[in-house]
Structure formats: C-alpha cells, structure tokens
Amino acid sequence: MKHCLVVDESRVIRKVVCHLLAEMKFYAEEAEESASALTACRAQMPDVVLVNLGNPGGIELVRALRRTKSEKQPVIIGTMTEHDVDHISEALSAGANEYVLKPFDRDTLKEKFVETGLM
Amino acid sequence: MNAAEFAYLADLLKRRAGFHLAPTKTQLAKSRLAPVARRYGFRKTDELFAELRDAPEDLARAVTDAMMINESSFFRDKSCFDHFRGVVLPSLLSARATSRRLRIWCAAASTGQEPYSLAMILDEAKIAKDWRIDLIASDISGFAISRAIEGRYSQYEVQRGLPAQTLVRYFAQDGDQWRISERIRRMVSFRTFNLLDSYGWLGEVDVIYCRNAFLYFEPLAKRACLKAFSQVLADDGYLALGASETLEGASTAFAPDDASVRGVYRKIRRTARPIALAS
Ligand SMILES: C[S@@+](CC[C@H](N)C(=O)[O-])C[C@H]1O[C@@H](n2cnc3c(N)ncnc32)[C@H](O)[C@@H]1O
C-alpha cells in the first residue's frame, strides 16, 4: 500500500482528501503545518506528499524535503487555489513534481498520480 | 418537440454527420439547440424544431454543429501519446528519412487539445529543420475549430492531462485563461471538414488520429470513413482511435499495432499477387 502525507491547515480539507486517498487504496496520514510534516517525513518518508502551497511555509517544506537525505525521494504535489504561472513555476523549481488546483475530485487526483508514476 | 420533429432532427444528423441521436436525447437536443434558436430569431426552441424541415443550409449546419459532443483534453488516454512519442514517431522518422516529409492528420480535432498535444511532442522531439511536417487538424464543427485556432483554454482544461512542466513551457497565462504558445499554434493547420465528405483535398497521410468521434456514429457511416482512411493512409502508416473504440464489424483493413496499447492500428499489408512472367 502506498503512503501519502497530506499537509494542509484546513482540517476539513485534510479529512476530505484523506477520504479520497483511502478510496484510492492509499494509506493516508495528515499534518497541519510544515514543521510537523517534516518531522513525520524524516521518521518515515511517504511515497507522495500533497502540500498546500498556500500554507505558510508550504514552499519551504518542498525545498526542505528535497534537501532531506533519505532512501527514496517522494513525489511532491503542490495544491493551490490560485492558478498562477509564477506560483507553478516557483513550486516546480523548489522541487515539486506536479500541482493540482483546489478543490479537486478523485479523477483529477488520480490523473496527477498517474502522471507522476504513482499509479 | 413531437415525435415527428425529433425523428426529423435525428435523420438530419445522420445524413449530415453520420451522427446517431439516441431516442432518449430529447432533453439534450433542447438544451443544445436553445442558443441556436435564439441566434436565428426563434422565440422558442420548439419553433425551431417545427421549422427545421424547411431550414436553410446555414441553419441546418448550425444545428448539426451544436449537437456535436466536443469533449476533449490534452494527452487524453496518455498511453496513446506515449506510444506516439516512443514508437510511431521514431518508426516514421526512420521510414521517411529520405523524403523527410511527414503528414499527420487529426480528423476529429474538436477544440484543439489533440493536435496541440501532438505538436508539443513533435516540438520536444527536436526533429531536424530540413524535415517538412504537416500537422492537419479538422472537425465538422466550425465552432470547435474556431476555438482550436484561438488556442485559449480555461484552467480546468489545462489542468486535465497536461504535466505542470509542459504547461509552464508551452502556455502563457492570459487573465484566467491559458494560451498555447504561438510556435506550437503555427505548427497546426486547421480547417472544418465533415468525415462523410470527399477526401480529395487531403492527399496521403502517415498518421490518422480519429478518436472518440466514431462513438456517436451510425455503423454505416463508420464503415465508410474507415474505408476512406485505408485509402488515404500510407501503407506503413498508423491509425489511432479512442481507447474504447473498436474496428469490430466496421473494417478489416487494420490490425492492432501493439496489444498493450488500446486504439492504435496499422494497415494490414496485403501481399502482392505474384505477377506471372511471360516466358
Ligand atoms: C468527443 S470529440 C473528440 C475530440 C478528440 N478527438 C478527443 O478524443 O479528445 C468528437 C469530435 O468529433 C467531431 N465529429 C463528429 N462527427 C463528425 C463528422 N462527421 N466529421 C468530422 N468530425 C465529426 C465532433 O464535432 C467532435 O468535435
């Protein structure tokens, strides 16, 4: 079972996304902010991290994860509410593999997972 | 709309576009045709139905156009495009190394996502400058083609199927829309074309993409199109259909190219009959 960490300030969003992930047969964990997310990743690196780039420290979390030495590098997917080319470019150069616009449904998430080789 | 009017509409679509309008689709017809009725000055959509029989050419075309299903997305059925990048393109580049000419036709191009996906692959392949590559995109729907030519997509359209890197590389943001880069846009030539019309303008092509249009076709129309395809396609060319479309009962001229990729076919080579040499 693949392991996904969902990082988002909003409890509602974390719940909704974790539910989608469970339906997609992923083991889902959640973190409210970047520091605890980083600690969790250092303890056990997930296969994929979904990071809300709008969170304070969202982009920094992406950079920190890419600097973290670990056996495997996770797929990092940034979630964002504003579709903006500068944000997307910034996320990509920080090390994100993909982005997804919020709110997203299962099909969209699935597509991004297929795109990044998770499914 | 009464039964006779519905039957007339269904017949019109069948004659003009090979389109099969299922009897359950009255609501769909009403909602699709409401804007056309308004545009042509009918007070109610029902009045349009009542007068459809006497419709001038222009109106009949607008009605057909409005009933088409234009749903598309970039790199739809990813495996088909991966196969194009990894197999179809390299094989044709080597087969055409002397003529240095490649002709690709998107026959149901809708709003442009499909030909632009191919154009981006061609661009990334960095093919030498001395090749002449024609990428022709056509569709029966003038509305869809004009959107394709504009090359502007909503954020939801670009989020479907386009890898983030590709989006950033080939699109420019324009308000809340995204516009395909001029370089990619100019690789494609667009026109309106009904697959039931004559193919004389086209010439021989190496690749035909005709995906997710036959889904709505009358069996006879589909058969006729596939026959025409087998005539315009080069002997070593490729045909791509939608992932859920088959040739069953419609054509025996093609065989799957690779069992693991749904929808990609090649022409079956008929072995030439040996010519008896006069002694
Ligand atoms: C569902 S879209 C598919 C678009 C694209 N090929 C894809 O797979 O994403 C089907 C398209 O077929 C076009 N079409 C339907 N009947 C046609 C005909 N007789 N001649 C040409 N195009 C036709 C419609 O206008 C529509 O744009």
Q: What pLDDT is attached to residue B277?
A: 64
Q: What pLDDT is attached to residue B143?
A: 92
Q: Does B157 have pLDDT greater than 60?
A: yes
Average pLDDT score over residue span B241-248: 95
Backbone dihedral angles phi then psi of residue B204, each to the nearest 5 degrees:
-75, 140
ω into B115 cis (within 30 of 0): no
Q: Are the beta carbons of B159 and A100 separated by less than 8 Å?
A: yes
Instruction: Among B84, B139, B143, say which to mutate for ligand 1: greatest number of ligand atoms within 8 Å of CB.
Output: B139
Q: Are the beta carbons of B160 and A108 separated by less than 8 Å?
A: yes
Q: What whole-number distance in Å separates Cα of residue B20 and Cα of residue A67?
A: 57
B176: confidence class by pLDDT, cuts 50, 70, 90: confident
Residue B81 to residues A61, B46, B214, B266, Cα–Cα distance (Å): 33, 43, 19, 16
Q: What whole-number distance in Å separates Cα of residue A83 and Cα of residue B156?
A: 10
Query: Which region holds residue A60: left if phi is over 0, alpha if psi is between -120 and 50, else beta?
Result: alpha
- CA–centroid distance, residue A51 to ligand 1 (Å): 38
| Closest Cβ opposite residue B173 in set A85, A91, A114 | A85
Q: What pLDDT is attached to residue B154?
A: 92
Average pLDDT score over residue span A104-109: 91
CA B144 to ligand 1: nearest atom: 27
**b/e for A90-111, b at 16 or more Cβ within 10 A?**
ebbebbbbbbbebebeeebbbb
- What is the full DSSP assignment across B109-130? -TTTHHHHHHHHHHHHTT--TT
Q: What whole-number distance in Å separates Cα of residue B46 and Cα of residue B23?
A: 17
Architecture of the domain whose range is A2-115: 3-Layer(aba) Sandwich (3.40)
Q: Considering chain A, what percentage of its residues have pLDDT values greater than 70? A: 100
B279: confidence class by pLDDT, cuts 50, 70, 90: low
- Sequence spans of domains, chain B: 3-67, 78-267
CA B95 centroid distance within chain: 25
Q: Are the beta carbons of B164 and A114 separated by less than 8 Å?
A: no
Domain B78-267, CATH among 3.10.129.10, 3.40.50.150, 3.40.50.2300, 3.40.50.720: 3.40.50.150
* Ligand 1 cavity residues, CB under 6 Å: B 17-19, 68-72, 76, 108, 110, 114, 139-141, 144, 194-196, 211-213, 242
ipTM of the complex: 0.80
Q: Which residues contact A110 (CB under 8 A, 6 or more apart)?
A: A24, A119
pLDDT tens-digit map of B78-119: 999 999 999 999 999 999 999 999 999 999 999 999 999 999
Q: Which residues contact B218 (CB under 8 A, 6 or more apart)?
A: B14, B18, B19, B20
| Closest Cβ opposite residue A92 in set B155, B168, B172 | B168
Q: What pLDDT is attached to residue B272?
A: 65
B269: confidence class by pLDDT, cuts 50, 70, 90: confident
- CA–centroid distance, residue B28 to ligand 1 (Å): 17
| Closest Cβ opposite residue B168 in set A89, A100, A114 | A89
Q: Are the beta carbons of B160 and A111 separated by less than 8 Å?
A: yes
Q: Does B226 have pLDDT greater than 90?
A: yes
Q: Does B198 have pLDDT greater than 60?
A: yes
Name every chain A residue with its beta carbon within 8 A of the beta carbon of B160: 108, 111
Q: What pLDDT is attached to residue A103?
A: 87
Q: Report the predicted TM-score, pTM, of the whole model to 2 decimal places.
A: 0.89
B274: confidence class by pLDDT, cuts 50, 70, 90: low
CATH 1.20.120 fits B3-67, yes or no: no
- What is the full DSSP assignment across B197-213? S--TTT--EEEEE--SS
B270: confidence class by pLDDT, cuts 50, 70, 90: confident
Strand arrangement of the beta sheet that strand B188-192 belongs to: B188-192, B132-139, B101-106, B205-209, B233-240, B264-267, B254-256
Mean of per-residue pLDDT scores for chain B: 94
pLDDT tens-digit map of B11-39: 999 999 999 999 999 999 999 999 999 99
B77: confidence class by pLDDT, cuts 50, 70, 90: very high
Q: What pLDDT is attached to residue B82?
A: 96
Q: Considering chain B, what percentage of its residues have pLDDT values greater than 90? A: 92
Alpha helices in chain B (DSSP H): 3-17, 26-39, 45-51, 57-67, 78-83, 89-95, 113-124, 142-150, 155-159, 164-170, 182-185, 219-232
Q: Which residues contact B57 (CB under 8 A, 6 or more apart)?
A: none
Best B71, B165, B177 residue to mutate vs chain A (most A CBs within 10 Å): B165
CA B71 to ligand 1: nearest atom: 1
Q: What pLDDT is attached to residue B273?
A: 66
pLDDT tens-digit map of B210-225: 999 999 999 999 999 9
